[in-house]
């Protein structure tokens, strides 16, 4: 479901109610004849198998991926896994990206490390020197470990799929999944047990929904979207009107749109709009327990860390980073490429390409200056009291001198 193109996630190859290949049992339970027996549990191994390689092979692979590097030490060192400097052992490679961890190089038991060309290497430790150690480490994990391998269910007969739902080819749908009327799901979908997809939701290709994800009705989800366990998309927002000293619920008739290549962590919630859309832009990534209020628009390639809360009707630009536990008040805007540091409170609109910190959020440099002054306040208060005492004593002396006629 490429956004900007035809948003219909249907297309050729989808199974519909009238297809001869589909049989139906009680209710809406969909049974594929070739998968009527329960899957063999032995086929559900999800472990990733690491691919061992020599250091020179890893170096060559990094170079082919636009990560130029050079080897220092034994190029035939065998690498079976990637690990941290503190936890690594023989046969594992680690990395150093942040200089504050440089002292761990002396103690690491890793067979090799990935580090910057300027970092001093302890004797006997092999290395791949690269200008971007963090990117090289990420690529090494992909090359050696790969991505998570999902259980293979096909279409589990314990799932419930409405007769009007359209399911794309190569579907991998686990037990106790419920898919409503008029749902459209693209090719290569992996949907873990316990997920719910409400009526008329439209879902693109290559999606991954982990256990107990809930997609409310009419939601629109793009291609290559990953939703982690317990995430809820399209629940009612906080829409109430005060009437006669009570709260009157406003029907939430909007929807949620999640564009392509978005990944949401566990336990996130995206309120459906009262009117119109709540939208998450392509390529944006959320950590766990992020809350997005109704009618909010989040731009592309944003990064929201855990427990961020964004109220309703907020416009967030592209490439915005919100640190952990940032709170954003409603009906404001955040400019492109802005960074708001952890635990900050955004109470008014903020400009693009700035870094903010504090409650209320302010320019980070200004906040740090204020923080320095705040740390000095106890001493400043003590000095002020001393000065007040000295002034009082001086005033008494002046009064005494005035009374003596001097």
Residues serving a catalytic function are 294
DSSP codes, 32-52: -GGG-SPPPGGGG--PPPP--
Of 168, 196, 190, nearest in space to 8 by CA: 168
**CA triplet 176, 214, 267: central angle to 5 degrees?**
115
Give the span between the Cα atoms of 102 and 98, in whole angstroms.
8
The answer to whether 170 and 186 have CB atoms below 8 angstroms apart is: no
Give the span between the Cα atoms of 43 and 384, in whole angstroms.
75
Give the span between the Cα atoms of 190 and 310, in whole angstroms.
29
Altogether, the residues listed in the chain come to a count of 406
The answer to whether 258 and 233 have CB atoms below 8 angstroms apart is: yes
Longest dimension (CA), the chain: 118
Give the span between the Cα atoms of 197 and 195, in whole angstroms.
7
The answer to whether 316 and 337 have CB atoms below 8 angstroms apart is: no
Distances (CA, A) of 46 to 42, 333, 392, 405: 10, 42, 78, 98
CA dihedral 344, 350, 351, 353 (to 10 degrees): 20
């Amino acid at each position: 479901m490429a956004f900007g193109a035809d948003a219909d996630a249907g297309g050729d190859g989808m199974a519909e109610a009238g297809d001869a290949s589909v049989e139906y049992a009680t209710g809406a339970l969909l049974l594929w004849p070739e998968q009527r027996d329960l899957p063999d549990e032995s086929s559900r191994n999800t472990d990733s198998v690491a691919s061992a390689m020599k250091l020179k092979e890893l170096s060559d692979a990094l170079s082919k991926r636009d990560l130029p590097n050079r080897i220092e030490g034994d190029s035939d060192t065998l690498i079976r896994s990637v690990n941290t400097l503190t936890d690594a052992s023989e046969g594992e490679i680690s990395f150093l990206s942040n200089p504050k961890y440089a002292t761990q190089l002396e103690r690491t038991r890793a067979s090799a490390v990935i580090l910057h060309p300027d970092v001093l290497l302890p004797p006997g430790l092999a290395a791949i020197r690269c200008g971007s150690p963090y990117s090289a480490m990420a690529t090494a994990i992909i090359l050696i470990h790969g991505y998570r391998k999902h259980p293979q269910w096909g279409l589990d007969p314990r799932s419930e799929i409405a007769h009007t739902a359209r399911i794309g080819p190569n579907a991998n749908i686990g037990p106790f999944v419920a898919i409503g009327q008029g749902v459209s799901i693209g090719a290569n979908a992996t949907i873990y047990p316990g997920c719910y997809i409400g009526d008329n939701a439209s879902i693109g290709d290559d999606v991954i929904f982990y256990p107990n994800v809930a997609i409310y009705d009419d939601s629109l989800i793009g291609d290559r979207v990953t939703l982690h366990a317990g995430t809820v998309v399209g629940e009612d927002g906080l829409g109430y009107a005060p009437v006669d000293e009570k709260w009157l619920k406003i029907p939430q008739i909007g929807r949620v749109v999640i564009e392509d290549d978005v990944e949401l962590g566990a336990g996130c919630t995206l309120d459906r709009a009262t009117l119109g859309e709540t939208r998450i832009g392509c390529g944006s990534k959320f950590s766990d327990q992020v809350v997005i209020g109704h009618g909010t628009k989040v731009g592309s390639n944003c990064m929201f860390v855990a427990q961020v809360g964004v109220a309703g009707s907020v416009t967030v630009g592209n490439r915005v980073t919100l640190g952990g536990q940032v709170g954003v008040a409603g009906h404001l805007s955040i400019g492109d490429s802005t960074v708001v540091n952890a635990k900050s409170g955004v109470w008014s609109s903020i400009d693009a390409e700035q870094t903010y910190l504090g409650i209320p959020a302010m320019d980070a440099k200004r906040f740090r200056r204020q923080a320095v002054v705040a740390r000095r306040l106890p001493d400043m208060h003590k000095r002020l009291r001393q000065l007040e005492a000295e002034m009082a004593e001086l005033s008494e002396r002046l009064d005494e001198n005035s009374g003596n006629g001097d």
